[in-house]
A and B are shown apart, each in its own frame.
Chain A
Amino acid sequence: MPKIKIPKSSPSIDMTPMVDLAFLLVTFFMLAASFRPSEPVTVETASSISDKVIPENNIMVTLDPDGKVYFNLTNPEARKEALNNMASLYKVSFNEEQIEKFALMSTFGCTMKELPAYIDLPGDSRKEFKTEGIPLDSLDNQLKNWISYSQMAALNTGKTAYEEAKQKGLAPDADDFKPKFIIRADGKSVYKKAEKVIDVFRELNLNNLNFVTSSEFNPNNPN
């Protein structure tokens, strides 16, 4: 019998193209993913069939299971303006550094008195900050002031952004630049507490509210 010559081929496959592709995708997703700053509260929302994505420019009130109220405003410029107005109203002074830090922060839930100390804390220890949330009772309705100043500030920054977009020759929709009002309530929180927050919005004549939900299967539109 003649000897059969087995071609000497290495058992391992050349993985280089696959690795190239994998790293390309990793890089893409890393850059495309937007990292949210750490939030002082984790909220588990209820689910709905809605497929409307959360608007970019928003004013958000968060309600945790204990009924504590947190506030957030997305636009950094508007945050600075709102903070300055709130500072002069409640006679709390902030230095330059604190204002800059506040502009880049996320959700917060403390009184105006506690706010300077809260801002000075390093990012990861803000979670442990002991607070009762933002007060919203009739005697000390800080939430209402936060919302009304933030709305004014966000409208101003939205207007400038709208003018800029117009000058660039785009046809912007003025509605996109107005802040949207969002309530992010934990599924386990009592609705009466959420209703108090809703009433604050309604007192300011802001009646179009959005509830943050996680998505679920829609029986009307199964695809």
Chain B
Amino acid sequence: MAEIAESGGGGHDKGKKRAKKSSTRVDMTPMVDLAFLLLTFFVLTSTFSKPKVMSLAYPAKIDEPIDKNAPKLNNGITFLLSKDKIFYYTGEFYPADRPGKDGPTKLTETNFSASGLRKVLADLNSYVLLRKEGMVKKVKAKQMADTTYTRELEQLKGKPEALKVLVKTDDKALCKNFIDLIDEVKIAEIGVIAPVPMLPAELKLLETQLKK
């Protein structure tokens, strides 16, 4: 042990000298490896550990019968969800035995991709999206405060011209399908989303469509 204090001056025996030198230094590499491994682990876990939530307001349950004289849904789209499949129609529902002006309602199939659902919603909700784009430009050019922007966007979403979305699911639809749909609806800046029960006539139409 006393050898450590000895300076490496005398170089008579080379083997001995080397042994002395190595004893003073500890190899820190494994410790550093471990430290960085732990560091990476904690950095990654602590950033991603907090899950996010998506809020959705459901309509209140009322026992009163539905008002027959209520205004008709004039600018709405109804989605019918089944397992990994999605269909939609716009406006009112006309069953086969009570067709409307353009005959009975036909379902259109789409998908959850950006070219499917997102495009459909963006086209139908262009009223809001175009105005939003204009407002974003104004905010960027500092002509509009962002608090005004948030307020006006909320107002815009509630206007009669803005698209309203009804979501109806059958027994096979998965939670993932539902959340994906709500997500796309939120991307399209739609303010009114209502998950409602499916009508028997709609279910029949959906089932014939699924069999095709």
Contacts and interface: CB of A to CB of B under 8 A. Distances in A.
Q: Do A and B interact?
A: yes
Kindly name the residue among B52, B60, B187 whose own CB sees the greatest number of chain A CB atoms within 10 A: B52
A207 B57 CA distance: 6
B35 A26 contact: yes
What size tier do the contact residues of chain A reach? 35 or more
Interface in A28-86: 29-30, 32-34, 36, 45-55, 63
Contacts of B182: 48, 211
Contacts of B175: 46, 63, 185-191, 194
Contacts of A139: none
Given A29-B42, A48-B182, A53 B177 contact: no
A168 B175 CA distance: 44
B45 interface: yes
Contacts of A4: none
B192 to A, nearest CB: 14
A203 B36 CA distance: 52
A208 interface: yes
Nearest to A31: B42
| Main DSSP-derived SS at the A contact region | mixed
B25 interface: yes
A29 B39 contact: yes
Given A48-B52, A212-B51, A191 B81 contact: yes
B50 A53 contact: yes
B13 interface: no
A223 interface: no
A92 interface: no
Interface of A: 10, 12, 15-16, 18-19, 22-23, 25-26, 29-30, 32-34, 36, 45-55, 63, 182, 184-192, 194-195, 198, 201-203, 205, 207-216, 218-220
Given A23-B35, A63-B175, 20 more contacts: A12-B25, A19-B31, A19-B35, A22-B32, A25-B43, A48-B52, A49-B186, A51-B52, A54-B51, A189-B174, A190-B173, A195-B195, A202-B60, A207-B60, A209-B55, A209-B58, A210-B53, A210-B54, A211-B53, A219-B114
